[in-house]
Structure 1
Amino acid sequence: MKRLKKKHVVRWITRKVVFPLVYHINALRPIKKDKVLFMEGRFSEVTDNFTEIIRVLEQDYNLDIHYHFLLQGFVSNKETIRRQIAFVKDAATAAFLIYNDASDTQGAFKVRKGTRVLNTWHGAGAFKKFGLSTADKIFGGSRKEQLRYNAHPHYDLFTVSSPEVEWAYVEALGKEKDSESIKGVGLSRTDVFYRKEYIDSAKDKLISEFPEAAGQKVILYAPTFRGRMKRAETPNELDLELFYKELSDEYVVLIKHHPLVKKAKRPVVDDRFKAFAKDVTDTMAISDLLCVSDICITDYSSLIYEYSIFERPMVFFAYDLENYCDWRGFYYNYDEMTPGPVCRTNEEMIDYIKNVEDRFDKKAVHDFREKFMSGCDGHATERIIDMFFGDRIEAYRK
């Protein structure tokens, strides 16, 4: 109890006093007009939410680019605070701040005039609820609790995959009075799906990582996590033995757990199936896996939006649909929105996969793509850079 109380006190002091004070003291210095700062909240390296933007900036401009990795939930509280303070101090003189998630660190201080803020959100579409949309759900705290610590500053641009889903982000971020920044101009990271060389490279990576996949069709199993983010669990309902028995002549299975699920909590692939199934969570990026997969099995993961770009079959393994809906909820009716069969059992999935050529409804996937991914056309990065930076970095063009 004392530890929990101390945790809340530390959070209040850092977000309400320390971070704003550090920012405003350092903001007494002038803005560096060529300074661009990227911040990753949880991960130790730059994710694909940033990579295409960084590639263009490094290729075409001479800019002072900074990176911060907070590793929240993955290092000690003391180390996290040290990283947060370093980020806040550095942000105070940046001309451009770029995020890809929600964080009460980035929302703790009011950004100074002259600094522009971009969020290249990490999920496409609008599937499971998040942010303030979960205020009445088990997953989220009360609206009052969530509003106590601001997770989002004022944005100049917040990118989503399509105009269709802008309303959901306005609700989740609580931006009803500041909705004009949320734009369905596309997600930068999806541009790679339109490049043949990227897809070919992904195929090469697959064979290098899993030679047994050569000549086989690929099933990707990529479930989302269960529970709360800091203690994320992964499902263990996929019956690999049955899949092996029924499908191993034609298919291999690649397993990609949610990145929040720590390795110790992931099911281990039985040695009997190691030529048929492989956990590639730590060895292959999800963008590569979407390129090489012939069928995707998921549940409530937003990767279905990106996968729809390829217009390939999807299977929804929703064995716990009612519980998940009570826990977190959805922005659209689950059964009506999903562009593929919703299955409760392994047997249903196997039956569909065996008959996929006859049962696959490509038009349903195409219509889904047009509705939810219209901004992701292979040119999102150039639109985002033009809208966010404009002519402010022309002086630094190579």
Structure 2
Amino acid sequence: MKKLLKKLSRGPLSPVFKVYRKIYKPVVLHFFYPVAYKFFTLTKKVNPKKVVFIEARFDKITDTFQLIYNRMEKEGYEIHECFLLNTKPGKLAYTKRSLHMLKEISDAHYIFLNDACNVTSCISLRKGSRIFQVWHACGAFKKFGMSTADLIFGDNRKNQEKFPNYRNLAYVTVSSPEISWAYEEAMNLKNTDTQIVSTGISRTDVFYDKNFIEAAAKAVYSVCPKARSKKIILYAPTFRGRVAKAQTPDCLDIAAMKEALGDEYFLLLKHHPFVKKRPEIPENCQDFAMDVTKELDIDKLLCVSDVCISDYSSLIFEYSLFERPMIFFAYDLDEYFDWRGFYYNYDELTPGPIVKTTEEIIDYIQHLDTRFNPSQVRAFREKFMSACDGHATDRILELVEKC
């Protein structure tokens, strides 16, 4: 069926398909979804115990929600899950999932988001429902939302205002007061009733849990027993390009790292979950490095890593809680800045060396004893992660109880 539609869209019916693509979004967001939601609300009252967790991109409940989910389930709330899978192709299937979600939230008292969502933003939210935006990332690193208007990465300002992603929010939770301004800008929240609250990020609570950290070490060594007797270097870059066609860097010289650091270190690679095609580790380096993207989640890897190499990923905020060395492999810094931009000056933000070659990475790791500055990481942590103290979930649940 998909092949047939693709063929028709390129044939004599292509003008029809062009019109369809042009009108689909405004018709669905400005008419179809609002009317459907209103219809669903007519038949049901708000259920004061109903909670709906909405995953925009993934097909399971992610760590952003997990602790909140567990606590609310334990306290007797009626939990529901919706998975929009908005990066998956197929407009009709996505529309069907969106309608299901609108039906679910139509009588929900509490609605949780962790990403942009134009479906919940296009409706007139009924009185008695509250939407919590517990954003999936800590800190404020690379720009998103309205902050990217008219950049290569983002849509133009006119379209972002026409099809908003952050309306109807009661609360937005962030990792520190320092970054509230960035979320206000990105979500276009100025002159709205939305409250940006420095509760901390729920999923960071696990980094204060000794049982979680011990279990993380067991999980890592179970997947990668060769790392047990070595110090661990984690390489976790963010993706490049659009979400639907996300690519990952392939500039790290693993063979050179093995030769220089192999006696003391083991390298674990964790690529962004949006990336489908990952570079292979050279066969002669598989006793030094392992790609654990599918096998291990990032929280476990952060717990056990002795050094973290990243670039523009927000995971540096979480990793700062451990006050360990970080290296910023920003070989394409100028291009990435033009593509997406940052909320802070990159040179001033990063609590570690900015490098452009594998040789610089090796040199820094070989001289960690004299070059690593813990106070730099500590200051970074206090500025951007001050509310992430192991009790973020408690504070978010306090907000829930107020509604």
Partner SS, residue 156 of structure 1: strand
Q: What's the counterpart of residue 32 of structure 1?
A: 47
Match of 2:319 among 286, 303, 307: 307
Structure 1: 5+ residue stretches without partners? 393-398
What's the CA shift for 1:179? 6.5
Q: After superposition, what is the alpha-carbon deviation per residue over 1:366-387, rounded to whole angstroms, capped at 9, x for unaligned?
A: 0000000001000000001101
What's the CA shift for 1:78? 2.3
Q: What's the counterpart of residue 351 of structure 2?
A: 339
Distance in 2 (CA, whole Å) between partners of 1:179 and 1:283 is 42
Q: What amino acid maps onto 2:118 in structure 1? A: D
State how many pairs are aligned: 388
Q: What's the counterpart of residue 349 of structure 1?
A: 361
Q: What amino acid maps onto 2:130 in structure 1? A: R
- Establish whether residue 370 from structure 1 lines up as the match of residue 370 from structure 2: no
Q: What's the counterpart of residue 11 of structure 2?
A: none
**Aligned residues of 2:169 and 2:194 also touching (Cα < 8 A):** no
Q: What's the counterpart of residue 396 of structure 1?
A: none
- Establish whether residue 133 from structure 1 lines up as the match of residue 147 from structure 2: yes
Distance in 1 (CA, whole Å) between partners of 2:172 and 2:230 is 40
Q: What amino acid maps onto 2:107 in structure 1? A: T
Q: What's the counterpart of residue 3 of structure 2?
A: none
Q: After superposition, what is the alpha-carbon deviation per residue over 1:129-167, rounded to whole angstroms, capped at 9, x for unaligned?
A: 111001131111211011111101222211010000000
Distance in 1 (CA, whole Å) between partners of 2:20 and 2:150 is 27
What does 1:174-185 align with in structure 2 at a 5 Å threshold? Answer: 174-178=188-192, 181-185=195-199
* TM-score (structure 1 length as normaliser): 0.95
Q: What's the counterpart of residue 170 of structure 1?
A: 184
**Aligned residues of 1:97 and 1:117 also touching (Cα < 8 A):** yes
Match of 1:257 among 262, 266, 271: 271
Distance in 2 (CA, whole Å) between partners of 1:85 and 1:116 is 19
What's the CA shift for 1:270? 2.1
Distance in 1 (CA, whole Å) between partners of 2:281 and 2:297 is 19
What's the CA shift for 1:4? 5.5
**Aligned residues of 1:164 and 1:184 also touching (Cα < 8 A):** no
Q: What's the counterpart of residue 268 of structure 1?
A: 280
Match of 1:224 among 221, 230, 238: 238
Partner SS, residue 290 of structure 2: strand
Distance in 2 (CA, whole Å) between partners of 1:108 and 1:14 is 9
- Establish whether residue 146 from structure 1 lines up as the match of residue 195 from structure 2: no
Distance in 1 (CA, whole Å) between partners of 2:258 and 2:19 is 50
**Aligned residues of 2:120 and 2:168 also touching (Cα < 8 A):** no
Distance in 1 (CA, whole Å) between partners of 2:18 and 2:217 is 47
Distance in 2 (CA, whole Å) between partners of 1:387 and 1:254 is 38
Match of 2:72 among 57, 67, 72: 57
Q: What's the counterpart of residue 310 of structure 2?
A: 298
Match of 1:361 among 373, 394, 397: 373
Q: What's the counterpart of residue 395 of structure 1?
A: none
Partner SS, residue 375 of structure 1: coil
What's the CA shift for 1:75? 4.8
**Aligned residues of 1:163 and 1:185 also touching (Cα < 8 A):** no
Identity, % of aligned pairs?
46
- Establish whether residue 44 from structure 1 lines up as the match of residue 56 from structure 2: no
Q: What's the counterpart of residue 189 of structure 1?
A: 203
Distance in 2 (CA, whole Å) between partners of 1:271 and 1:17 is 55
Q: What amino acid maps onto 1:100 in structure 2? A: N
Partner SS, residue 158 of structure 1: strand
Distance in 1 (CA, whole Å) between partners of 2:196 and 2:67 is 20
Match of 1:115 among 122, 126, 129: 129
Q: What's the counterpart of residue 248 of structure 2?
A: 234
What's the CA shift for 1:182? 0.9
What's the CA shift for 1:9? 2.1
**Aligned residues of 1:157 and 1:388 also touching (Cα < 8 A):** no
Q: What amino acid maps onto 1:42 in structure 2? A: R
Q: After superposition, what is the alpha-carbon deviation per residue over 1:338-387, rounded to whole angstroms, capped at 9, x for unaligned?
A: 00000011100110011112110000000000000001000000001101
**Aligned residues of 1:30 and 1:93 also touching (Cα < 8 A):** yes
What does 1:66-81 align with in structure 2 at a 5 Å threshold? Answer: 66-81=80-95
**Aligned residues of 1:299 and 1:317 also touching (Cα < 8 A):** yes
What's the CA shift for 1:6? 2.7
Q: 1:351 to 1:5 in 2, by over 3 A?
A: farther
Q: 1:339 to 1:4 in 2, by over 3 A?
A: farther
Q: After superposition, what is the alpha-carbon deviation per residue over 1:270-312, rounded to whole angstroms, capped at 9, x for unaligned?
A: 2222221111111111111110110000000000000000000
Partner SS, residue 87 of structure 1: helix
